Structure 1
């Protein structure tokens, strides 16, 4: 559904030539400016709100005709940098930065850029989605009853969008200015500096790493429908909820009429003071307990979207308006007495639309409330039932959660145990220890409200002598006999654990599978303790990929190579490469030989890997060992030791501390460097 461009104004005073040219530039290049704003705005807003915010940013960029302080002086600007200067307009020429309206376009672009970047600098307590000065004017555009989404792109566009969501707005702006606006690095730096970016050079450097090595492909993706907020698809909002709201508004209007009559009859009366009423909160419908979304109890069994939106409201205090009101007010602006924790990359701004109520009840001496926000966040509020302790507010991202990553949420942690609220589709819950792969899972009791009995959780410090996990099984209404593992890594949502077995001879590449089989449990028994390094980093899922098996020198047994990849909710991944030499115990920890942050290695977007390590044979001799994934056809060592071998594994005699560079040749002719 195209969003029509605003019609050109006709009421501008003839003397305000600068405003007229700015308006002409806005109308002429409206889709281009809106796309720029859409890319720069925080993806955490959600696609619907980002579409509306992009149009609002551009439409509000035009100053009023009589506003001399913000009206352009017909500025000219450098084509290279886009920085406005007080000079005559640039001469006629090609491109939006030249011609009679070119200088005005550059001026409008700078205003759009400033406003879009200000979204990430707004105060945490500000209820609107625009900076304070702009938010005082009427919001445009306004859409009722519809959700707007740009046209869906392919896997590459989705990957680029997720990559952009992991970097600050200044980096997104630098990326867009170069690929959408055609500015060089110097021009992008100058324009970012004019927009108030603290480190424009750093933003340009980070932007250069996005979309590499195929910049042309990244440019095409950025110009695709995935990033076009002017051509959108529509879906209705919650129709039943809207009907209930209309009835509630009608009832509230009738009550207001009655209350107004009583006020006139008895006088002004007593006005609320202090904290009895917060005008800022009362003015935001999303913070009204009566407006909370509630899902029907059996909705999960009759929907294709099996995630947090299918969770019903559970717990003994779902009807406690006072508790829900305190939780929402704490969310809107936490006082100093409330302890706030945030998973990396999670927005803590108040909700713009009514959140969904997942749980409200009493757990382990605290009143706990769980919300799910339309911006793909889960928020937990907890206040003690007795004593002088303060309340707690926890935020976590839950983008694109599914049957497994949306299966449980932590409601309480006490000592070395935790309680979880399970998804309504979980039919069976057990616990097991990853460091005891041969021990059967133990049943875990679950209450009528979906809250589990206390389950052991991994110790944060000390010896790693156990690693408890939950083994859950989905209802047959969702998928038949689907069991999976999740583990508590310190965030609200536990991480999903999977396993990819070693490649077969001549067989297609394996896909990740649930880590409940014997081979998967043995692999996790040797790598579970490395999960400690991922605690509190917002991990969504962790996969163990057995990418190679190697025969050791001097007639030794076989060793294994594992790539442990942790994917976060915000997009970036971390990779640990493990070397599993023969061990006397199935739980002897594997050696970590490589550790890489912010990488696509060992994922569907990084399917090739090469790693190496020094190894001491039983004879006392030292070797350099290396192994690659199934597409590796040759491995070569240079540096202190030289050698080469065909195939995916390699071994050469070398001193203990020899500095060796490893490279591999792939089946398609590409070259691969070893991960460090």
Structure 2
């Protein structure tokens, strides 16, 4: 399980050695043979496999020497590596571990996935190649990790325990000292962005409290004292904003790829990505713009008022609070729930997949499409930096149905990686699983106005949808319509 969940990079031998090392590291609670003990250990394994610390790559010799004679088929792990990490976890739990849906949902909640059901649906829609051989390993076939005398190992354990104790003491003292000193907080020169390359490093500090050292020091100290997983990437941070937002003081700081918002004595930390120009959400519908960006425009063609680089309140015109926000130069940005506005893109149904998609201002039709789509796609579990929606099928649904669109939306995440999801936009819009932007195809069970159920599948231009396990399929204009038992799992393909 740990092997399949680990990020898909590096050689198989190292992935498998790290996976076994992760499992070995959770052996302290292995004596608890109860179901609760097993569940706690599984959660620890999954957390470490999702974000493996770099230190696991050091001293791998014993685990490399204990590798089995036969390694897993690389086809499955290569396919899984392209998935969103939490979708990969759901796939492994459902298809490798054979866990029921409710148990997968509970496990994802333990891993702090806010909305697990869309993640499970995406995992269930994933198509991966069938391995040429079984990928399970029986414990009896695994070679022991300890290949040397127990005495040196025991001595090493005692020494390691002593060193760990000393390090923990030092770390606690260092943390107290850092908290007392506070985080080193700096700001770029007001005109730094006019010289050299444009990046987040040259954003100046803005806001009427940027010069209030007492307030910015409290903000920096609060971030330095945050729990380990939310601390700054280094001992220094960049002040981007300090001011009053709706009368309440707010500070926004950046360290590497992390952004921290300090307000009311609380620090919220999120991934920020590397886009040098994406607006930063301050809260209350206001956004901090890059210093070189032109004044934003509303969709009515009017200038969106700004003051000190901060926009007036603007919110998506949707019921779910996600969707297009405003035009910014040659781009349209929207709120998809992250710390920064995401660049939105759209392809019309008559465009073939392939080629590069460049940011462009969305027209009225594309904005209307995104307003419907933003509330229908699964809520992102990670901050999104860009989203491209490909409207790969558009037409009238059969048997009295109304006009509908089928979209494949690719999300690029701020912390790296990407994922694509299909969505049927109809009277009742729904997510229909993962999709391939280059060869889009997706299917779902659909209830006609007459009350009868049909299986629908659509494919992109130049492709024909196919589905196994349905009755009397008929395909016309790239839309497959078939009968069958509603809810039966069907995997559509495109030819």
Query: Is the TM value for this pair above 0.5?
Result: yes
Question: 1:330 Cα shift?
Answer: 0.9
Equivalent runs, 1:307-322 vs 2, <5 Å: 307-322=199-214
Q: How far apart in 1 are the matches of 2:381 and 2:488?
A: 34
Find the residue that maps to 1:424 and give its secondary structure: coil
The corresponding residue for 1:452 is 311
Q: Map Cα deviations across residues 288-345 of structure 1 (whole Å, 9 max, x no partner).
A: 56x53322323334433x33222111222323222222112111214xxxxx9xxxxx
The corresponding residue for 2:215 is 323
Question: 1:381 Cα shift?
Answer: 1.2
Work out whether residues 459 and 494 of structure 2, in 8 Å CA contact, stay in contact via their aligned partners in 1: no
Work out whether residues 538 and 568 of structure 1, in 8 Å CA contact, stay in contact via their aligned partners in 2: yes
Cα distance change on mapping 1:503 and 1:317 into 2, 3 Å: same
Q: How far apart in 2 are the matches of 1:495 and 1:510?
A: 18
Match of 1:354 among 236, 242, 246: 236
Work out whether 1:487 is the aligned partner of 2:368. no
Gaps of 5+ in 2: 1-5, 27-46, 73-88, 97-122, 132-171
Q: How far apart in 2 are the matches of 1:615 and 1:312?
A: 52
Equivalent runs, 1:205-220 vs 2, <5 Å: none
Q: Map Cα deviations across residues 98-134 of structure 1 (whole Å, 9 max, x no partner).
A: xxxxxxxx9xx99xx79xx89xxxxxxxxxxxxxxxx
Work out whether 1:517 is the aligned partner of 2:363. yes
Question: 1:561 Cα shift?
Answer: 1.5
Larger Rg: 1
Q: How far apart in 2 are the matches of 1:548 and 1:184?
A: 48
Find the residue that maps to 1:378 and give its secondary structure: strand
Q: How far apart in 2 are the matches of 1:165 and 1:631?
A: 43
Find the residue that maps to 1:455 and give its secondary structure: coil
The corresponding residue for 1:184 is 68
After TM superposition, the score normalised by the length of structure 1 is 0.45
The corresponding residue for 1:377 is 258
Find the residue that maps to 1:524 and give its secondary structure: helix
Equivalent runs, 1:626-641 vs 2, <5 Å: 626-630=457-461, 632=463, 634-641=464-471
Cα distance change on mapping 1:665 and 1:165 into 2, 3 Å: farther
Q: How far apart in 2 are the matches of 1:548 and 1:181?
A: 52
The corresponding residue for 2:269 is 395
Work out whether residues 273 and 414 of structure 2, in 8 Å CA contact, stay in contact via their aligned partners in 1: yes
The corresponding residue for 1:420 is 287
Cα distance change on mapping 1:214 and 1:315 into 2, 3 Å: farther
Give me the CA root mean square deviation: 5.2
Q: Map Cα deviations across residues 590-641 of structure 1 (whole Å, 9 max, x no partner).
A: 6215134xxxx445xxx22321234566777764332113463x43333241
After TM superposition, the score normalised by the length of structure 2 is 0.60
Work out whether residues 323 and 370 of structure 2, in 8 Å CA contact, stay in contact via their aligned partners in 1: no
Cα distance change on mapping 1:181 and 1:594 into 2, 3 Å: farther
Q: Map Cα deviations across residues 205-228 of structure 1 (whole Å, 9 max, x no partner).
A: 79x99xx8799xxxxxxxxxxxxx
Find the residue that maps to 2:343 and give its secondary structure: strand
The corresponding residue for 1:569 is 414
Equivalent runs, 1:245-260 vs 2, <5 Å: none
Find the residue that maps to 2:455 and give its secondary structure: strand
- Larger relative contact order (Cα-Cα within 8 Å, sequence gap ≥ 6): 2
Equivalent runs, 1:195-274 vs 2, <5 Å: none
Question: 1:373 Cα shift?
Answer: 0.4
Q: How far apart in 1 are the matches of 2:231 and 2:175?
A: 13
Q: How far apart in 2 are the matches of 1:381 and 1:186?
A: 52
Match of 1:498 among 308, 329, 345: 345
Find the residue that maps to 1:331 and give its secondary structure: helix
Find the residue that maps to 2:236 and give its secondary structure: coil
Match of 1:534 among 373, 379, 393: 379
Work out whether residues 376 and 425 of structure 2, in 8 Å CA contact, stay in contact via their aligned partners in 1: no
Work out whether 1:591 is the aligned partner of 2:429. yes
Work out whether residues 444 and 455 of structure 2, in 8 Å CA contact, stay in contact via their aligned partners in 1: yes
Work out whether residues 548 and 562 of structure 1, in 8 Å CA contact, stay in contact via their aligned partners in 2: yes
Work out whether residues 409 and 421 of structure 1, in 8 Å CA contact, stay in contact via their aligned partners in 2: yes
Question: 1:522 Cα shift?
Answer: 2.9
Work out whether residues 360 and 367 of structure 1, in 8 Å CA contact, stay in contact via their aligned partners in 2: yes
Find the residue that maps to 1:594 and give its secondary structure: strand
Question: 1:166 Cα shift?
Answer: 8.5
Work out whether residues 441 and 471 of structure 1, in 8 Å CA contact, stay in contact via their aligned partners in 2: no
Question: 1:501 Cα shift?
Answer: 2.4
Find the residue that maps to 2:190 and give its secondary structure: coil
Q: How far apart in 1 are the matches of 2:180 and 2:254?
A: 12
Q: Map Cα deviations across residues 413-464 of structure 1 (whole Å, 9 max, x no partner).
A: 3xxxx222221122122445xxxxxxx255432113x2222334678xxxx2
Work out whether residues 499 and 513 of structure 1, in 8 Å CA contact, stay in contact via their aligned partners in 2: no
Find the residue that maps to 1:497 and give its secondary structure: strand
Q: Map Cα deviations across residues 228-266 of structure 1 (whole Å, 9 max, x no partner).
A: xxxxxxxxxxxxxxxxxxxxxxxxxxxxxxxxxxxxxxx
Work out whether residues 431 and 468 of structure 1, in 8 Å CA contact, stay in contact via their aligned partners in 2: no
Equivalent runs, 1:48-197 vs 2, <5 Å: 167-169=50-52, 183-184=67-68
Find the residue that maps to 1:661 and give its secondary structure: coil
Q: How far apart in 1 are the matches of 2:424 and 2:405?
A: 6
Gaps of 5+ in 1: 1-39, 44-79, 82-105, 119-163, 189-201, 216-277, 335-339, 341-345, 384-390, 433-439, 475-481, 582-588, 667-676
Q: How far apart in 2 are the matches of 1:629 and 1:419?
A: 38
Q: How far apart in 2 are the matches of 1:286 and 1:497?
A: 43
Cα distance change on mapping 1:579 and 1:351 into 2, 3 Å: closer
Q: How far apart in 2 are the matches of 1:619 and 1:412?
A: 46
Work out whether 1:609 is the aligned partner of 2:440. yes
Find the residue that maps to 1:519 and give its secondary structure: helix
Find the residue that maps to 1:427 and give its secondary structure: coil
Match of 2:280 among 390, 401, 409: 409
Find the residue that maps to 1:330 and give its secondary structure: helix
